[in-house]
Amino acid sequence: MTYRRYHGSCHCQAVRYEAGFDLSDGTNRCNCSICSKARAWFLFVRGDAFQLLAGEEHLGSYRWQPPGQAEPFLDYRFCLRCGIRVFATGEWDRMGGRFYALHVPTVDDVDREELVNAPLNFIDNAHDRPDRAPADTRLM
Ligand SMILES: [Zn+2]
């Protein structure tokens, strides 16, 4: 698989974006409290590879401060009309600064088989261990 550009949107189409990524980098599921509630499934995109095409005025924002953190790490953006979470965004040195965590189901033009065959990573943020998968991933 290779890096290419994809298009995505919320359910009502008010929010639309274009993003570049390589599916062979994998998609992610996390067990932290907010990811568990949202059934989060996301993939990382560098800030310079993401472009919001429409809908900034329809995007709500939720910032949450994880226990033990000095400030909220991510800004969760969701469509105020249809309620779909589209992405979270923040700053992270490992991603070269600004990055986006795209909600995978909002990507519209991804090939289903490519997505099925992409690596799926499980992240144990519930125990502050993003470097490993949790012992039990059955409901993630
Ligand atoms: Zn919407």
**pLDDT score for 1:** 61
| CA of residue 75 to ligand 1 center, whole Å | 17
Sheet strands (E) in the chain? 3-9, 16-22, 27-30, 42-46, 50-54, 59-63, 74-79, 85-92, 97-103, 120-123
**pLDDT score for 90:** 94
Where the chain has pLDDT below 50, the residues are none
| CA of residue 92 to ligand 1 center, whole Å | 27
CA angle 5, 115, 104 (to 5 degrees): 70
| CA of residue 71 to ligand 1 center, whole Å | 28
| CA of residue 55 to ligand 1 center, whole Å | 8
Task: Give the contacts of 72 (CB within 8 A, at least 6 positions apart).
Answer: 63, 64, 65, 66
Q: Average pLDDT of the chain? A: 94
| CA of residue 10 to ligand 1 center, whole Å | 5
| CA of residue 83 to ligand 1 center, whole Å | 6
State the alpha helices, DSSP H only, in 22-67. 33-38
**pLDDT score for 93:** 85
Give the start-to-end residue ranges of the domains of the chain.
3-127
pLDDT digits (tens, 9 = 90+) for 52-75: 999 999 999 999 888 788 888 899
| CA of residue 133 to ligand 1 center, whole Å | 32
CATH ID of 3-127, from 3.30.930.10, 2.60.40.1220, 3.50.50.60, 2.170.150.70: 2.170.150.70
**pLDDT score for 138:** 93
CA 24 from centroid of its chain's CA atoms: 16
